[in-house]
Amino acid sequence: MPNESSRLGSVCVYCGSSNDADPRYITDAFTIGESFARAGLKLVYGGGGVGLMGATARGAHSAGGAVLGVIPTFLRGREQPFDDVETVIVDNMHERKMMMYEQADSFVVLPGGIGTLEEIVELLSWRRLDLHQKPIVFHNPGGFWDPFFALIQHTIEARLTPPSLVDAWRSVEKAEHVTPALLAWGEETYQTGAPATLRPLT
């Protein structure tokens, strides 16, 4: 029998925290946050109230969704926590990333900068090591993430990365397709009975 815990209940979002981002990205982030709430998914995010990060949290909160922010003490001034939602203050970036990972059944990657890249490369590395099978969906408006996907393909062609890694994520261009893609993947996982986490990270 499939494990009931394979059904998705939460989603962690990695995305940019700059207010200078393309306004279309910020609008899409709000829409995606709303869609999480309407699907009954708890949002886990980096705790800030700025950029795409803040927009996603506001979208989820405005639609009545559960939201958990995780932010290190040193970033409270820079990223301005969204005080209307539950926010946990941690000591450093490592604690932040681990808590976000542990609280999430799935991941969505929106446009972002170097911090977002660092988070998703680590997540994909863990997937490569069979530490998890959590669904990962990229929002790829206008091909934003295409250069990243090309880099991964380059490492595959150089025989440094297994070809199977490209199955670790799905990519959609439109904001309204993000949550349906995530839920469809979660349902596939439920039907196969595959565990979201294979073994604990240490």
Instruction: Convert the pLDDT of each residue in 174-188 to its tens digit.
Output: 999 999 999 999 888
| Per-residue pLDDT at 82 exceeds 90 | no
Contact 67, 45 (CB under 8 A): yes
pLDDT category, 80, cuts 50, 70, 90? confident
| Per-residue pLDDT at 125 exceeds 80 | yes
Contact 178, 108 (CB under 8 A): yes
Whole-angstrom CA distances from 106 to 50, 78, 132, 142, 154 are 22, 27, 10, 23, 26
To the nearest whole number, what is the mean pLDDT of the chain?
A: 91
- Structure confidence at residue 3 (pLDDT): 36
* More confident of the two residues 38 and 188: 38
CATH number listed for the domain at residues 7-189: 3.40.50.450
- Structure confidence at residue 73 (pLDDT): 92
Give helix 93-102 / helix 114-128 axis angle, nearest 10°: 50
Q: Nearest-CA neighbor of 34 among 14, 8, 11? A: 11
| Per-residue pLDDT at 29 exceeds 50 | yes
| 62-90 average pLDDT score | 90
- Structure confidence at residue 196 (pLDDT): 63
Q: Model confidence over 148-200: pLDDT tens digits? A: 999 999 999 999 999 999 999 999 999 999 999 999 998 887 677 666 665 55
- Structure confidence at residue 200 (pLDDT): 53
CA distance 32 to 13: 10
What is the distance in angstroms between the CA of the first residue and the CA of the last residue of the chain? Answer: 29
Task: Quote the pTM value.
Answer: 0.91
